[in-house]
Amino acid sequence: MANPRIRALTWWRKWAKRDWVIAAVGLTIILFSLTLLFDSRKPDDSSIFSRSSVDDHVPLTLLHRAKATGAFCLDGSLPAYHFQKGFGSGSNNWLLHLEGGGWCNSIGTCNRRKGSSLGSSKYMDRLVTFAGILSRHSSQNPDFYNWNKVKIRYCDGASFAGHPESEFKNGTKLFFRGQLIWEAIMDELLSLGLSNAKQALLTGCSAGGLATLIHCDDFRDHLPKDATVKCLADAGFFLDEPDILGSRTLRAFYDDVVKLQCLFPEEIIKNVRTPVFIVNPAYDFWQIQHVLVPIQSHPHGNWKRCRLSIKECNSSYIETLQGFRGSLLKALREFQKSEDGGIFINSCYIHCQTWLPETWHSPSSPRINNKTIAESVGDWYFNREASKLIDCAYPCNPTCYNMDFTGRL
C-alpha cells in the first residue's frame, strides 16, 4: 500500500485489529514503510534504499488549481502529486501511478485519517523515491524507464471516487472529494502534455489498484484516440469471500464506505473497455490478514503465527489458503478469456509488487515461466506476446518474496 517511499472491483470486509480501516491503513503503511521483512531472501546493500540517487527523489507538487473546483483532501488541504519528466523516446509517453492506502468508512475513521498523509497534504513527504515501475533506470524498469511518470497522492479515503453530495454537515469539516481530485489531477496533467500522449499506462496499488479500475475508461477517454492506452491494477482484486467463521465483514465494510462517500460499487472489471492487466499474489497477505483471517475470527489466536508468515502455517491452514487461491482463480475465470487482458498471479505471500525493484524487475525478482512482472507487463503492453501467467500453488515457486512479520511478535 502506501509508502513515503475495484465504483470498486470487489469490496467487502471489515479489517481487523483495533479500529477497522485505521488499523488496516496503519498496519499496511508501517509494514511497507518500516518492516519489509522478506523471508530468507532479504535484500542486500543493492536494495532500493541504497541504490537510489538524487535523480530518483521527486518533489511534491500541490495542486493549486484544485481550490477553484473544490477538490480537497479529507481535511480541506490541496491534493498533490509527484511528476518526473520523460526523456528521449519516452518524451510523449505517460505512466500515472495511483497511491494506495485503504479506505475510511465512518466519520470517526475519516476524521482520524485526516491527520495523516492519507488524508492531508500537510503530512505528505516533500520528496519520494521513484522505483520499480516508476524508476528512470532501464535496468530496473526496461520498458517504461524514460516515460513521463506521475505518482498521484491519495488523500480522500475512497479510491478517488468520493462525491461531495454525501458530505456530512455536522461540524467535522470532512471533504469527500475523491472524484473531484481525480478530475482536477487529470486537468493539470493534460495541460502538462498528457493531452499529446502517444502511449499511456494508468496503474495503482491496492486501494490505488481499485481506483485504477474505477477510472480506467475515463483515463482512456481523456487521451487521443490514436494513443495506446492501458491500465494495470496491482493487488487491487479484493475477493468477496467469507472469513474462516463464515462472516462477510469486508462486504459490510464497503457498504459503509458507499453510504458515506457515494462510492457506488459494482464488478466493473467485466465492463471495462480499456485493456487491463491484473497483478495479484495468490496469497495476498493483506487479504489473508483482513479478509480470510481477521483478528476477530480467531479469538484464541490459533492463526496468529500463520497470518504473520506463510511458513508458519500447518497443513490444515495451508489447505484453507489454497481454497482462497482457488476463489481468486475462479473470480478471474472470465477475465482470463479476454483477448486484451493480462494476468500475473504468483504464489507469494506479499501485497503490492510493482513499485519495489526487488519484486518488479531485478535478478532475484519473483518469476513465472522465467519472466518477471515487468517483463510480463511489457510483453502485454507492447503486444509482444500474450501474457496470462498463473503460478502453481504454494510452495512451488522458489523465487517468491514471502513477507514475514513474526519478528514483530
Active-site residue 361, yes or no?
Answer: no
Q: Can 340 be counted among the known catalytic residues?
A: no
Could you say which of 234, 284, 391, 404 is catalytic? 284
Phi-psi region of 249 (alpha: psi -120 to 50; beta: other; left: phi over 0): alpha
| Strands of 127-129's sheet in order across | 127-129, 57-62, 80-84, 148-152, 93-98, 199-205, 228-234, 276-281, 342-346, 388-390
- Eight-class DSSP state of 38: B
Q: Alpha-carbon distance 162 to 176, whole Å?
A: 5
Three-class DSSP category at 137: coil
> Which one from 215, 351, 361, 387 is the annotated catalytic residue?
351
Provide CB contacts within 8 A for 223, sequence distance 6+: 194, 195, 197, 200, 229
Residue 194 near residue 94 (C-beta atoms within 8 A) = yes
In the three-class reduction of DSSP (H, G, I as helix; E, B as strand; rest coil), residue 370 is classed as: coil
Q: Is 39 a catalytic residue?
A: no
Nearest-10 crossing angle of helices 207-222, 178-191 = 50
**Distance from C-alpha of 220 to C-alpha of 197, rounded to nearest angstrom:** 11
Pairing relationship of beta strands 57-62 and 80-84 according to DSSP bridges: antiparallel
Judge contact between 154 and 73, C-beta under 8 A: no
Q: Is 128 helix (H, G, I), strand (E, B) or coil?
A: strand
Measure Cα distances from 162 to 73, 166, 179, 211, 269 in Å: 11, 8, 5, 11, 19
State how far the Cα of 59 lies from the Cα of 53, in Å rounded to an integer: 14
Active-site residue (options: 206, 309, 362, 387): 206
State the catalytic residues: 206, 284, 351
